[in-house]
Amino acid sequence: MSTFSATPFGSNIADLYLPFDRGMGTAIDSTVSAVRKLSPDAASILDLGSGPGEPACTLAAAFPSASVICSDVAQAMVDLAEKRAKSEGLRNLSTMLLDLADLNAVPSASQDVITANFAIISTPSLESALREIQRVLKPGGFLVGTVWQTFSVPELAKDVMTELLGQPPPPPPIDPMRLADAALLDAEFSKADLHFMEGHNTLGDIVFDLGLVSGDSTWKSVMISALGKLEQLETSGDTTICERAKATVEKTATAKGLVKEGKLKCPGTFRAFRLTKYA
């Protein structure tokens, strides 16, 4: 059986994202604080791309009178979020399987707030996603979220793949840095008739602790975007690719100064967006 069986989009992909989800506190706080300021009496909040439950769960706890929808495109993530919500007694939170570019299950003009922490990065059609967000927001509603400005993990993964392949790898299916240009993203927001609010394009720092750099899952968390390619190489007969990838992650991360007391610490800077749909 392949070392990467069921990993790229299978049952344990959620486990590889957990170190990132656990480290999202700064970005979650940024979004929740913005919602408190912009819409303190929000009755309906839709969180897009929640992964295993954030910032939806924090929002549900912070706004107990609001109806909060926690959504993701991956069923495994939705299941994790639902389990967490039940364990925390968040009765005002429901879950939905949603694609950002197709929110047909959500009525038009139904949401006071839509949140999207690092979610719009992953949609193949940003234009469609923003059009759907604009449709679902109530007049006077708000869109709050984050994208990456800088992030050490994709650069680390690219350097590792370059060494393994002997040449730079093709762009990943989902490039986390695709919206790093604020001017380009702002143009898309304007095209969707979404308007800037105070706090738009502010920056925040974040550091992810991915665990022991020598750990069995740490290198896979770094290489999430490339695991499909690595699995193909292994299936094609490169039986040592797993060991070499793990060793190369450790070597490259150490050379980049990302290893602190044996643990892989990956910094990044997020950019917050704060927008409204005019009434």
Tell me the CATH number at 79: 3.40.50.150
Q: Is there a domain that residue 38 lies in?
A: yes
H runs (alpha helix) in 137-240: 152-165, 182-191, 218-222, 227-235
Is 105 a domain residue?
yes
pLDDT bracket for residue 9 (50, 70, 90): very low
**Confidence label for 65 from pLDDT (cuts 50, 70 and 90):** very high
Total domains, the chain: 1
pTM over 0.85: yes
Is position 158 within any domain?
no
- Residue 82: its H or E element: helix 75-87
Confirm whether 194 is domain-assigned: yes
Kindly report whether the peptide bond that precedes residue 170 is cis, defined as omega within 30 degrees of 0.
Answer: no
Residue 113: pLDDT band by 50, 70, 90 thresholds? very high
Q: What is the mean pLDDT of the chain?
A: 93
Question: Is 62 contained in some domain?
Answer: yes
Domain of residue 140: give its range.
13-151+173-209+268-276
The set of residues, in sequence order, having a beta carbon less than 8 Å from that of 69 and lying 6+ positions away, is 44, 45, 46, 47, 56, 93, 94, 95, 96, 106
**Rounded mean pLDDT of 54-70?**
98
Residue 226 in domain: no
Q: Per the domain annotation, does 189 fall within a domain?
A: yes
Residue 21, pLDDT score: 87
Q: Is 218 helix (H, G, I), strand (E, B) or coil?
A: helix
Question: What is the C-alpha to C-alpha distance for residues 117 and 58, in angstroms, rounded to an integer?
Answer: 13
Percentage of the chain modeled with pLDDT above 90 = 85
- Has residue 222 been placed in a domain? no
